[in-house]
Structure 1
């Protein structure tokens, strides 16, 4: 939702990415930089590094979402105190829902997916036909399909539920 740029006009800005939070850095043949921070955030832009860094935020209908994303990025870079846009539990559920859809498209059964998510012992602990894990994987498939069909837009707009 935000575009990182590094080439800023020389107006006395000094806000560069602190080197102690950079985990990895690569530059391609065209000069495009990719920086992975220690907390897992990826930044892409022109010559990201020890030069002043800025963000480009278009003035469009998504302005509030872009501004909130820029604010989270600022807090992550500067004071290491950013609230995640979604909770860890929701992130795990979203990953499982999308993995369920990928598995189903590859021909995996609900039982196979439940075994991958919860372990063989837990799946075998109750009759599969009436298993709560079977119902949970079914709900994950429904959620994953809804995310693919329309929910990804809500996720990008910060409205994920």
Structure 2
């Protein structure tokens, strides 16, 4: 078995992915993926759930109840709620990922 890795701006991410793959082939646990923090993974999951809910014609309020619970969703007036803005942002973010933004997840952030 051989791997050919292009030496471009994504080299380090490709090397890490190859290392995780090889460890799995060898039956060892893969190293953790460093492309996203646990908080980013949590937000990504919420974005996908929110976009899926909206695609299935759920209202923003219904999505808020599903993601954050009924108590939190009804604790303040909905039209001026910061939770409403958050849910709308999650839906927009989820739609952006579905529209091709997920490709950015495959790349490591570069420090300037």
For these two proteins, the number of residue pairs brought into alignment is: 105
Write out the 4+ residue segments of structure 1 that deviate beyond 4 Å after TM superposition: 72-81
What is the Cα deviation at residue 81 of structure 1? 5.7
Q: C-alpha offsets along residues 107-152 of structure 1, whole Å, 9 cap, x if unaligned?
A: 0010000000111011111000001110000110111122122321
Distance 1:95 1:83 in 2: 16
Counterpart for residue 117 of structure 1: 67
The answer to which structure has the higher helix fraction is: 2
Residues 1:58 and 2:8 are matched in the alignment: no
Correspondence list, 1:12-23, <5 A = none
Counterpart for residue 58 of structure 2: 108
Whether contact under 8 Å (1:57, 1:67) holds in the other structure is no
Residues 1:71 and 2:19 are matched in the alignment: yes
Q: C-alpha offsets along residues 48-104 of structure 1, whole Å, 9 cap, x if unaligned?
A: xxxxxxxx5333355432212223456786577635431111111001101111111
The answer to which structure has the higher strand fraction is: 1
Gaps of 5+ in 1: 1-7, 9-55
The TM-score with structure 2 as length reference comes to: 0.76
Distance 2:29 2:50 in 1: 37
Shifted more, 96-105 versus 66-75: the winner is: 66-75
Distance 1:133 1:65 in 2: 35
Whether contact under 8 Å (1:73, 1:82) holds in the other structure is no
Counterpart for residue 155 of structure 1: 105
Distance 2:37 2:23 in 1: 17
